[in-house]
Every structure is written in structure tokens, then in C-alpha cells.
């Protein structure tokens, strides 16, 4: 699940940047691809209606593999950028369908005890995806560019096509190999008890889930929390990597793709994993309500590391990797509170799973909206002023967290 998602919504931004696209368009185009993952609750009931969840997982993986292969081939064509973007949009909807079906296999094949038992493994497995994609594959793109094709690492433009074509062929091969493995090992997944038996019933369930969602007590405060808690992170998501690879003369740090893959995509994501584990233990010991504001501070205050790096533009790789790791560690530590709040306060009710999906959809909407404007804002403001703006954008996060309602007892 994570390999397709991260390739489409994060790695594409780095590729667009490498191919010579400016920050505004690179962040904007990659952010549009989050839309399908944001609105997937709207077509989830229809996936429940037909065949088995395994069927959908396998066929979406085969289509994803073919699609990523077509992306690699399209890079040789005139006007390749328009073709690639069109393919990416189509693949984002296929990837979102794979998410629905794969989550369904997990939920319906395991009882409640087994779901809890394997939840950590599931989470760890998902986080391997970003390490492979944002870390390993971004690193490999830079290594191929300089060592195999002997191009200048600091020059962005069409010369990067050679290495990125290989990356997308690799992703296609890995995805196809996973489909073959799942064909042998994956259980079919059962139909949910509330699965619709017809299109009209699916529409009714979807409509009723919306109506009951907006009938929740203090729902607009919870919606505000779901959308704004990670506002500053959305503003950093695309611009952070751009800042790392942009030349020093443009206010960046001038890192290569190899260094970006190591610092941002590997060390940073490992810091997220460690932070998430410790954050979960912290909440489990002290409870969510008394710790939620502290967790919000953990998510937002360490963003100042990017402001400091933009102001001083360090060249020491240890300083840069430490700055990234600190920000990512506290992001992982604090984000645990966001997910638990959605589970315990926003989701409970008649359609718990669907309403939880609405909550994660709000998070996705925040990432998409902030991503659409982040590159253009950065170009207008420059990196130092932009990171000052990011720090100012933490204020709404603090406000919605302070007023976040708690109407359900913690489990």
C-alpha cells in the first residue's frame, strides 16, 4: 500500500523537481494525486459489493505494475510530462482502491484480538514503504544519474529521465512480484456484515454515514481538529525535500538525491518510527486527554529546525541529518495523538470505520490543500520567510487542539 502511495504523492514531487519543474508546479502536481486517497470513503462501499477483497488487491497491483511500467516507457515520448501526469492521476485511484481492499482483508480475516496483536507489525510494514521509496529509490535515482549515466547531479532537467525510467521499472517489478506472492498467500477476506447488496443500498449507506457524521456533538470542532492539527506539516511535506536539494545560491542546502534519500527518506523516517513507538507508550501510560496539547507541541515546535537550517545553511552532514531527525522524531511522537483522537472521539458511532475514514480524509485534504499552495508560496517568500510562515501556521493547530472536545471515555 505504502509503496504506491509514497511514489505517487511524494516521490513524484522530487522527480518533477529533478526534471526541471519549478517548486510551485512540482508541489502542486504531486499534491493533486492525494485527492483519490482523500475521497476513497466515497467509493469504498462499492468495493465491498463485488467479488472478494483479495480479487481487488491482486488486480489493482497488476494494474499498478502495468501503469508504472507505462510511466517509464512514456518518458521516451514527445510531450512525456502530460502523459505521465495523466497516468499518475489514474494510478492514484487504482492505488486508493488497493488501500480499501487491503485494509478490508486485514480487518475481516482477523478477529479483534489478532488485529490488535498484529497492529504493530502492520504499522511497521506500512512504514517500510516510505523508507524504500523516499529513501532507497530516491537514493538510487541520484546514484544512477551520476555513476551510471554520468550526468551532473546539481543540474536539473531532462537528463534525469534516464535514471527515473529505471526507478519506475523497478517499482513496476516489485509491485508485480507482490501480486504474485499475494496470489499464493493472501486470504480472500470476508464481506463485512454491513456490506451493501446493491448499488442503491451502497448509496443509502454512504448518505446515512454522512448524515450521522454531521449529527455528532461538536462535530465542527472535531472537523477543525482533523483538518488543522497537521497544518504546518502539510506546508513542509513537499518543500522540505526541495529545500534540501535546491542550490545554496537559491537558499537551499545543495544536497544530492543520494544525500536526500539518506537524510530525509531513511534517517528521518526511522526517527518517525521510533518517535511513534515512544509516543504510543506515552499516551498509553498517561492517557490522551491530558497529553494531547503536549503532543501538538511535539508536532509543531520542532519545525523550527528548518527555519534555522534556512537561516544558517549548514554544510556539515551531521548537523543536517540531526536537524531532519529531530523534526521527524517529534512529528512521529506527536502524530500518535492525532490518530488516537480520531479513533476514540471522532469515529465512535453507527459507522465507526467509515467515520474514521472521514477523519483520515480530512488529514489527506489538509495535505493536498497545503501542498497545492506550498510551492507557490515558497517561490514568493524565499526559504527563510517561508519557514517563518510555517511557524506562524502552527497557531491554528494549537487552538484546535486546546478546544478539541472529549465526549467518549478513553478505551
Give the orientation angle of helix 23-32 with respect to helix 352-392, to 10 degrees: 170
Which residues in 277-339 belong to E strands, given as ranges?
A: none
Q: Contact, 157 vs 19, CB < 8 A?
A: yes
**If you average pLDDT over every residue of the chain, what do you get?**
89
CA distance 290 to 298: 14
- Termini Cα distance of the chain: 28
Q: Contact, 234 vs 366, CB < 8 A?
A: yes
Q: Contact, 324 vs 264, CB < 8 A?
A: yes
Helices (H) and strands (E) in the chain, counts: 21, 0
Q: Contact, 39 vs 99, CB < 8 A?
A: no
Reading phi first (left if > 0) and then psi (alpha if -120 to 50, else beta), residue 196 is in beta
CA distance 104 to 191: 8
CA geometry: angle 280, 328, 371, nearest 5 deg: 110
pLDDT of residue 191: 65
pLDDT of residue 194: 60
**C-alpha cell at position 139:** 537514493
Which residues, including other chains, have CB under 8 Å from residue 5's CB and lie 6 or more apart? 37, 95, 99, 129
Q: Contact, 274 vs 332, CB < 8 A?
A: yes
Report which of 389, 394, 360 is spatially closest to residue 227, judged by C-alpha positions.
360
Report which of 375, 276, 262 is spatially closest to residue 28, judged by C-alpha positions.
375
394: enclosing H helix or E strand: helix 394-402
Helix boundaries (H) for 144-198: 161-185
Neighbours of 371 (CB within 10 A): 25
Q: Determine the 3-state secondary structure of 364 from DSSP.
A: helix
pLDDT of residue 128: 82
Largest alpha-carbon pair distance within the chain? Answer: 61
Q: Determine the 3-state secondary structure of 393 from DSSP.
A: coil
CA distance 16 to 121: 33
The residue to which cell 545560491 is assigned: 249
Given a cut of 50, the residues of the chain with pLDDT beneath it are none
- Measure the CA dihedral 345/347/350/355, to 10°: 150
CA distance 216 to 388: 36
**Structure letter (DSSP) for residue 9:** I
Amino acid at each position: 500500500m505504502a509503496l504506491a502511495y509514497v511514489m505517487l504523492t511524494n516521490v513524484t514531487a522530487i522527480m518533477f523537481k529533478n526534471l526541471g519543474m519549478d517548486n510551485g508546479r512540482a508541489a502542486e502536481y504531486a499534491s493533486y494525486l492525494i485527492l483519490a486517497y482523500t475521497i476513497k470513503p466515497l467509493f469504498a462501499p462499492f468495493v465491498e459489493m463485488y467479488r472478494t477483497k483479495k480479487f481487488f488487491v491482486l488486480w489493482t497491483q497488476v494494474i499498478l505494475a502495468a501503469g508504472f511500467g507505462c510511466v517509464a516507457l512514456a518518458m521516451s515520448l514527445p510531450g512525456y510530462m502530460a502523459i505521465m501526469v495523466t497516468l499518475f492521476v489514474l494510478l492514484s485511484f487504482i492505488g486508493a482502491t488497493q488501500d480499501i481492499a487491503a485494509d478490508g482483508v486485514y480487518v475481516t480475516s482477523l478477529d479483534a484480538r489478532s488485529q490488535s496483536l498484529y497492529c504493530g507489525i502492520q504499522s511497521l510494514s506500512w512504514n517500510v514503504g516510505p523508507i524504500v521509496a523516499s529513501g532507497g529509490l530516491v537514493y538510487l535515482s541520484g546514484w544512477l544519474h551520476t555513476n551510471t549515466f554520468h550526468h551532473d547531479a546539481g543540474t536539473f532537467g531532462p537528463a534525469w529521465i534516464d535514471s527515473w525510467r529505471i526507478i519506475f521499472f523497478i517499482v513496476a517489478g516489485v509491485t508485480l512480484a507482490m501480486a504474485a506472492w499475494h496470489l499464493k498467500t493472501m486470504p480472500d477476506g470476508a464481506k463485512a456484515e454491513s456490506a451493501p447488496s446493491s448499488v442503491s443500498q451502497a448509496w443509502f449507506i454512504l448518505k446515512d454515514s454522512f448524515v450521522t457524521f454531521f449529527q455528532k456533538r461538536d462535530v465542527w470542532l472535531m472537523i477543525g481538529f482533523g483538518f488543522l492539527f497537521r497544518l504546518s506539516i502539510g506546508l513542509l511535506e513537499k518543500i522540505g525535500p526541495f529545500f534540501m536539494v535546491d542550490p545554496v545560491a537559491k537558499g537551499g542546502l545543495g544536497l544530492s538525491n543520494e544525500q536526500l534519500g539518506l537524510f530525509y527518506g531513511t534517517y528521518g523516517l526511522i526517527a518517525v518510527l521510533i518517535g511513534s513507538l515512544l509516543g504510543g507508550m506515552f499516551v498509553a501510560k498517561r492517557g490522551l486527554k491530558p497529553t494531547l496539547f503536549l503532543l501538538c507541541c511535539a508536532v509543531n515546535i520542532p519545525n523550527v529546525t528548518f527555519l534555522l537550517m534556512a537561516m544558517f545553511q549548514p554544510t556539515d552532514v551531521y548537523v543536517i541529518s540531526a536537524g531532519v531527525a529531530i523534526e521527524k522524531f517529534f512529528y512521529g511522537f506527536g502524530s500518535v495523538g492525532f490518530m488516537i483522537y480520531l479513533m476514540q472521539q471522532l469515529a465512535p458511532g453507527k459507522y465507526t470505520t467509515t467515520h474514521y475514514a472521514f477523519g483520515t480524509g480530512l488529514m489527506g485534504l489538509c495535505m493536498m490543500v497545503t501542498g497545492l499552495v506550498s510551492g507557490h508560496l515558497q517561490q514568493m517568500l524565499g526559504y527563510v520567510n517561508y519557514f517563518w510562515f510555517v511557524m506562524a501556521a502552527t497557531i491554528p493547530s494549537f487552538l484546535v487542539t486546546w478546544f478539541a472536545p472529549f465526549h467518549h471515555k478513553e478505551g
